[in-house]
Structure 1
Amino acid sequence: MSTAVLAAPFQAVFDANSQEFSLVGVIRPRSVDEIAHSITEFRRAIDEARGVLYINVKRLAQMNNTAFHAFSRVVLDACRTRSDIRFVVVTSSVVGWTERMFRHLGKIEPQITVEVYDSKFYPGQSFVEDTSFIPILRAQTKMTWRHERTILPRHGMRPGIAMADICCGIGDFAVLAQKEFQPARIVALDHSKPSLAYAREVAAEFGVTGIEYTYGDASEMLLEDNQFDFVTCRHSLQIFNQPELLLKELYRIVKPGGRVYITNEKNSHCLGEPRAQSIQWTYNELARLLSHFEMDVELGPKGRRYLADAGFDDILVESFMITNLDGDPQDFADVIAGWEKMFAAMAARHGEAPEFIDRFRQGFRDHIFAALHPKGYAGWPIWAASGRKPL
C-alpha cells in the first residue's frame, strides 16, 4: 500500500511494500513548518521499515538547505536510536547534486549509503555510447527513415503536436521529424552527454531550431505528467534491462488520448543470401551474447505485449525490412561493419574464446558480402508498435 502526501510543487510518497520513501519535484520551503506533514510521514516510514529503508531522490529536481537539513536530521536521529535499520539513498547521475548533497551523510553515519541508480542500470551503455559508432547510427536512421516517414502518421504523428523523442541518441530522428511533420514542440531526451552534444551539432548543421535537447534518465524523467501528444522511443527498450520501467515513464508523460510509438528489432531474423547459414549463426549468437548484457534484441514482436501490460489500448503493430535494396547497398554494408566492431568487442568483454569471435565476425562479413553482391540480398527486420493512453 502507498501513501502520497502532496505539498505542491513536490510529492513525498511512501511505499510500504518496497520500503521506499520517494521525494519528487521541487522542495524549497521557507520554513520547516511548510513540510511538517511530509516530515511526519517520513518518520512513520522509518517506524514501519525493517532492515532497509530506501530514500529515492531520483526525480528530486531541487531541494533547499531548509528541507535537506530537516530530512537529514530525521535520518541521523533514527541512526542513533535504531541500530537495526539501514538507509540507502538512491540518486541518479541526471540530478548529480543529490549524490553530492547526501554523500556526506554516509561519512557521518555508517548506516547510511548512497547508490547512483543509473550507474548499474544500463549494463551495455558504454558500448552504445561509443562516439566512434555515431556515423553508423546516422546511417541506420537514414535507412529506417525511408520506411518510418510513411509509418509514423498511422501511429499518431501529425503537424502541430507536442512531441517527445525519448532516448533520442544523436538526435537525427528528431531533426527529420521536425522537418517532415513540423510538430509545435519537440523535447529530445537522452542519458548520453556525448550523444546530446552531437545532437545539437546536427540540429545546427541542418538549421533546425526549436528542439529542446534534455539530459535525462528515461526510466526516471524530470518531465511532468500528461504533457505530450506523441512520444517516440526507438531501438531503446531492447537495450535496457527493465523495459517495463521505461514504458511506465512513457505512459506517464503522454497525454490521455496520446500515443507512444516504439521500434525494436529481432536480430535473429537478420538474413542474407548467399552465405545464409553463416549469417544466421552469427545473429542467433548475437541475441544470446547480448542477453548476458541484459539486452533483449529479440524484443520486436513482443512490443504488443509490453504496451498492453503498460496499460495502453488501441495498439497498432507493423514490421518492415531494411535491405540492401534501400538506397546505396554500401550504407547497409557500413552499418554491418559497425555492428561487427561493437559486438566483437562485447564478445571479447564477455570472455568468449578467440575461435568463437573469429566465427562470429565471419558472419557479419558474410552479411556484408551478401549486401554488396550484385545478386545478393541482405535484410534487417524492425517492428514498429504504438499504443494509446486511455482517456
Structure 2
Amino acid sequence: MNHFNLLPRFKAQYDMNDQEFSISGIVRPQSIDELAPSIALLRDSIDRVRGVLYLNIKRLSQMNNTAFHAFSRVIIDACRARPDLKFVIVTSSVVGWTTRKFGYLNAIEPNITVQEYDSQFYPGQSFLEEGGFIPILRTQTKLTWRHERTILPRHGMKTGVVMADVCCGIGDFAVLVQREFEPSRIVALDHSKSSLAYARNMAAEFDIKGIEYTHGDASEMLLEDDQFDFVTCRHSLQIFNRPELILKELYRICKPGGRVYITNEKISQCLGEPRGDTIQWTYNELAKLFAYFTMDIEAGPKNRRLLIEAGFEDIRAESFMVTNLDGDPKDFANVVQSWEDVFAGDMSQRRGDNSKFVKRFRRGFQDHIFAALHPKGYAGWPVWVASGQKPL
C-alpha cells in the first residue's frame, strides 16, 4: 500500500489488493501544482488496475473546484484511453455534496458510476429513526442510567476526559454523562439527522452547553485518529449488519491507553412473570425478526469477543437487568409498549407476517406489560456491557 501526505488534513492512498484509490480530508489547493503527488499516484493506480478502479471519497469533507476538475480530468481521460476500465466512485450520504458533484461524471462517461456506500448499510435505520421512536429512546436511557452511572467509572469514565458518544441517537446519554462526570469535551455523533435535530433542540431549550452534535457515518467518521480518552457506542452495534466496521472506527479515534465502552442486548432473555411462556415466545420471535433485517439483537454476550477481535486489551465485561422495580413500573411498561408499536407494527408488516402471527406476537408484549404492572409481578430486560483498552 502506498501513502502520500500531501496538504494538511489531506491524504491520498492506493490499496492494490482492493484496487481502491482513496482521498480523505480537506482538499483546497490554490493551484494544480499542489496536487502533483496525488495526481501522479492516481495515474499510477490507473496503470496498475484491470477491470474496476474504486475511488473512495467517503471521508472527503471538502474539495474546491481546482481539485475536482484536476481529478475528474484524469479519470475522464483514462476512460477514453481505456474503454475496458470502469470507475466506481464510492460516496457517503453524510457528505451529500460528493454524490451530487461526482454524479455529473456519469453523464459524461458511462464507465463511471457512483455508489452511495451507506444507502444499504443500515438495514434497520428506517425503523429506528422514526420520530415516534424518540419516547422509547428517552425512557430506555432513563431506565439504564440508574445502572450505568455506577458501572461507567469501572470502565474508565472520570472527570475531565475527552469523550465521543458514537451513535448518540437523541443525545440524552451524552447529557447525563456531562452532568454526572463533567468531561472536558463531548462529541456526540449520529447518522440520523432527525435524532440530531431533536438533540440540538433539547440542548437549546435546556441551555445545555459543551456537547458537539455531529452528523456522521459511524463506519467512516470524519474524526481524526487517536483523539478521545473514552468512546461510547450503546445499543448500536446490534443494529448494524457489519459491526466490525464500527469497532474499527471506534478503535481508530480512541487514544492509545483510552477505552471503548459498548452495550448490547440479548433480547430473547427478556423475562416476566406471570405469563412467562407467552413473553418468552414473543422475544424469541423478536430476535428472529431482527435477524431477518440483518440485525443481531442477541449480540450482548458477544461483546467481549468483538472487542478482542477488534484489537482491544484489558477487556472488562458485565451485565445488568433493567426491571419494573427500577423506579416507576410504568416507565418499563412504556418501553415495552413502544417496542410493540414498532416491532409488531412496521417491522412485522414489512416482513409480510400474517395477522394470526402478529396477534400472537403482540400478546407477548402485552403480557410483559401486565407482568411489569402486576403488584406481584416481575419483568426484566437484560443489557450486556463491555469495554476495552486501546494498546499503548
TM over 0.5: yes
Q: In structure 2, what is the equivalent of residue 179 of structure 1?
A: 179
Q: Secondary structure at the match of 1:87?
A: strand
Q: In structure 2, what is the equivalent of residue 363 of structure 1?
A: 364
Q: In structure 2, what is the equivalent of residue 189 of structure 1?
A: 189
Mapped to 1, the partners of 2:275 and 2:54 lie a distance apart of 53
Render the CA deviation track for 1:24-46: whole Å, top value 9, x for unaligned.
Answer: 11111222221211111111211
Mapped to 1, the partners of 2:282 and 2:46 lie a distance apart of 52
Q: In structure 1, what is the equivalent of residue 5 of structure 2?
A: 6
Letter in 1 for 2:388: G
The CA deviation at 1:203 is 2.1
Render the CA deviation track for 1:232-280: whole Å, top value 9, x for unaligned.
Answer: 0000000011100001111111100000000000001111111111111
Letter in 1 for 2:108: I
Q: What are the equivalent positions in structure 2 for 1:248-267 lying under 5 Å apart?
A: 248-267=248-267
Q: Would you say how many aligned residue pairs link Structure 1 and Structure 2? A: 390
The answer as to 2:53 corresponding to 1:76 is no
Q: In structure 2, what is the equivalent of residue 233 of structure 1?
A: 233
Mapped to 2, the partners of 1:294 and 1:53 lie a distance apart of 29
Q: In structure 2, what is the equivalent of residue 318 of structure 1?
A: 318
The CA deviation at 1:201 is 2.2
Q: In structure 2, what is the equivalent of residue 307 of structure 1?
A: 307
Render the CA deviation track for 1:342-387: whole Å, top value 9, x for unaligned.
Answer: 1112011011222111111111111111111111111100001000
Q: What are the equivalent positions in structure 2 for 1:277-356 lying under 5 Å apart?
A: 277-344=277-344, 345-356=346-357
Letter in 2 for 1:339: W
Q: In structure 2, what is the equivalent of residue 204 of structure 1?
A: 204
Mapped to 1, the partners of 2:139 and 2:269 lie a distance apart of 20
Render the CA deviation track for 1:257-314: whole Å, top value 9, x for unaligned.
Answer: 0000000000011111111111111111111111111110011110111111111100
Render the CA deviation track for 1:70-97: whole Å, top value 9, x for unaligned.
Answer: 1111110111111212111111111111
The answer as to 2:82 corresponding to 1:100 is no
Q: What are the equivalent positions in structure 2 for 1:109-148 lying under 5 Å apart?
A: 109-148=109-148
Mapped to 2, the partners of 1:306 and 1:386 lie a distance apart of 10
Mapped to 2, the partners of 1:239 and 1:228 lie a distance apart of 24
Mapped to 2, the partners of 1:354 and 1:47 lie a distance apart of 58
The answer as to 2:44 corresponding to 1:44 is yes
Q: Secondary structure at the match of 2:311?
A: coil
Mapped to 2, the partners of 1:304 and 1:231 lie a distance apart of 16
Mapped to 1, the partners of 2:285 and 2:334 lie a distance apart of 21
Mean Cα deviation higher: 11-20 or 43-52 = 43-52
Mapped to 2, the partners of 1:270 and 1:71 lie a distance apart of 54
Q: Secondary structure at the match of 1:268?
A: helix
Mapped to 2, the partners of 1:12 and 1:236 lie a distance apart of 30
The CA deviation at 1:4 is 1.5
Mapped to 2, the partners of 1:117 and 1:203 lie a distance apart of 31
Mapped to 2, the partners of 1:380 and 1:4 lie a distance apart of 48
Mapped to 1, the partners of 2:218 and 2:181 lie a distance apart of 24
Mapped to 2, the partners of 1:203 and 1:173 lie a distance apart of 12
Mapped to 2, the partners of 1:66 and 1:354 lie a distance apart of 59
The CA deviation at 1:8 is 3.0
Mapped to 2, the partners of 1:183 and 1:206 lie a distance apart of 19
Moved over 4 A (4+): none
Q: TM-score, normalised by structure 1?
A: 0.98
Render the CA deviation track for 1:13-66: whole Å, top value 9, x for unaligned.
Answer: 111111111101111122222121111111121122222211111100111111
Unaligned runs of 5+ in 1: none
Q: TM-score, normalised by structure 2?
A: 0.98
Mapped to 2, the partners of 1:318 and 1:163 lie a distance apart of 21
The CA deviation at 1:207 is 2.8
The CA deviation at 1:119 is 1.3
The CA deviation at 1:144 is 0.2
Mapped to 1, the partners of 2:279 and 2:51 lie a distance apart of 51
Mapped to 1, the partners of 2:14 and 2:283 lie a distance apart of 45
Mapped to 1, the partners of 2:20 and 2:288 lie a distance apart of 34
The share of aligned pairs that are identical, in percent, is 71
Mean Cα deviation higher: 137-146 or 341-350 = 341-350
The CA deviation at 1:99 is 1.1
The CA deviation at 1:105 is 0.2
Letter in 2 for 1:224: E
The CA deviation at 1:202 is 2.3
Mapped to 2, the partners of 1:80 and 1:201 lie a distance apart of 50
